[in-house]
Structure formats: C-alpha cells, structure tokens
Amino acid sequence: MSSTPPPGGRLRSADELNAAIRALFSHRDARLTDEQREQYRQLLAELRQVERGDVTTAA
C-alpha cells in the first residue's frame, strides 16, 4: 500500500486513511518496523491535511 496521495494530488478520505492505519496494527506483534513507522507518520500527516481541509470547508 502506498503512503503517498494518489496521482493527481487527491488526498484519501479520513475513512481510507484510518483503515490504512488500522491495517498497520492488525497483526499480533504491534511493534512496527522502521519502514512501517515512516508509513504511519506519512499517513498521520495526510490525515491532518484532510482534517484541516474538512475544517476549512465547514467554516
């Protein structure tokens, strides 16, 4: 799974991002590899962008 926005710059929805984050922690050993931690950080950054966009749209 890619941790960057799809081509065209479209951000994924909060539901899509939350699903990707949950998938990182879906295994019994919840310890993440360095690569997974980086992916998690990127997903959180993208989620913050989506949330800021939601707030701006609602205001």
The rounded distance, in Å, linking the Cα atoms of 26 and 20 is 10
Q: Give start and end residues of each alpha helix (H) in 1-59.
A: 14-24, 34-58
pLDDT on residue 1: 45
What is the C-alpha to C-alpha distance for residues 2 and 31, in angstroms, rounded to an integer? 20
Rounded to an integer, what distance in angstroms lies between the CA atom of residue 25 and that of residue 32? 8
| pTM for this model (two decimals) | 0.69
- pLDDT tens column, 15-47: 999 999 999 888 777 788 999 999 999 999 999
